[in-house]
Amino acid sequence: MRFFKYESIGNDFVLLETPDAESQNLSDLTKTLCDRHFGVGSDGLLVVDPSANPVTMRMFNPDGTEDFCGNGLRCAALHMKLERKATESLTLLHGGQLIPIQFAFGDWIDVTLPPASFDPEQVPLAPGVGEVFDRSLVVDGHSLTVSSLTTGSTHTVIFRESPVTDEEFRSVSPKLEIHDWFPNRTSVIWVWQTGAKALSIRIWERGVGETLGCGTGSAAVAACWFRKHSGALAVEIRNPGGETVASKGLKGSIIVSARARLVYKGVLTASLATATS
């Protein structure tokens, strides 16, 4: 089975094409391939069908759960350009939504995500919680001001005056991920301002743990920033693994721009390709 290893702002993925993977239990295969000691090692598995019209992409977290992924979309688009000679723009079908992608100046790739939503049912939030925007919440003895929304995936954004400490990040993030407010769990994005139009973030992804980059998380931060600063058109968001720029698109969409690259490609051994956890 052929595989490809891609990376965008430090978020790395194993990518398989169908029909190579169509006979596999993708949840079990994901757990095997994402293992950094006994598998290939990655933050997730991408499964792309290049023959579909439009091209489809599925993404699985290392724990085998399926999710929506902005950086995965960027990597899948680059794959289509490198391996399938895609033109300067294409549309991918992911999570039941059509996602326009543009190859921009240099090696930047623009992913246009649908409008963010703070609607409690769409996030989703537990019944009776209501909208969560700049709401107070105490987790593990830490007082937080949080905003929860979906940008295709559920995120809780925490704005701070200064960088989060290692102790707070590691104690609060996993507990907030599984808090009663979030029936499907939540990723946790810690944010602090580093310039007039620049933010830095630290990321705890649901089903993954700490990661170096998150496309939908960057979009979630931008959506909160734009709601707080209605006149803003764009904001730089520094992920630990690299720079992104998020800007307002048409009809409330958010364009997340960043770089991606092919790291290597190879062939899985039969024993690894058929292993399950």
CA 40 – CA 238 distance, rounded (Å): 27
- How confident is the model at residue 274, as a pLDDT? 66
Place of tokens 């190859």: 103
Q: Which among 34, 69, 75, 224 is annotated as catalytic?
A: 69
pLDDT over 70 at 3, yes or no: yes
Rounded to a whole number of angstroms, the CA Rg of the chain reads: 18
pLDDT over 90 at 271, yes or no: no
Three-state secondary structure string covering 49-116: ECCCCCEEEEEECCCCCEECCHHHHHHHHHHHHHHHCCCCEEEEEECCEEEEEEECCCCEEEEEECCC
Whether 34 is a known active-site residue: answer no
What is the average pLDDT across 44-69? 95
CA 276 – CA 58 distance, rounded (Å): 19
pLDDT over 90 at 273, yes or no: no
Residue of higher predicted confidence among 258 and 269? 258
CA 123 – CA 152 distance, rounded (Å): 9
- How confident is the model at residue 160, as a pLDDT? 96
Q: Which among 34, 75, 214, 224 is annotated as catalytic?
A: 214
Above pLDDT 90, what percent of the chain? 89
- pLDDT tens for 93-132 read 999 999 999 999 889 999 999 999 999 999 999 999 999 9
Whether 75 is a known active-site residue: answer no
| Total Cβ atoms within 10 A of residue 252 | 12
User: Which one-letter DSSP state was computed for residue 252?
Assistant: G
CB of 145 closer than 8 Å to CB of 135 = yes
SS3 content of the chain, % helix, strand, coil (to 5): 20, 40, 40
CA 256 – CA 246 distance, rounded (Å): 4
User: Average per-residue pLDDT in the chain?
Assistant: 94
Taken in order of first residue, the domains within the chain and their CATH numbers are 2-107+260-273 (3.10.310.10), 135-258 (3.10.310.10)
- How confident is the model at residue 21, as a pLDDT? 74
- pLDDT tens for 136-170 read 999 999 999 999 999 999 999 999 999 999 999 99
pLDDT over 60 at 277, yes or no: no
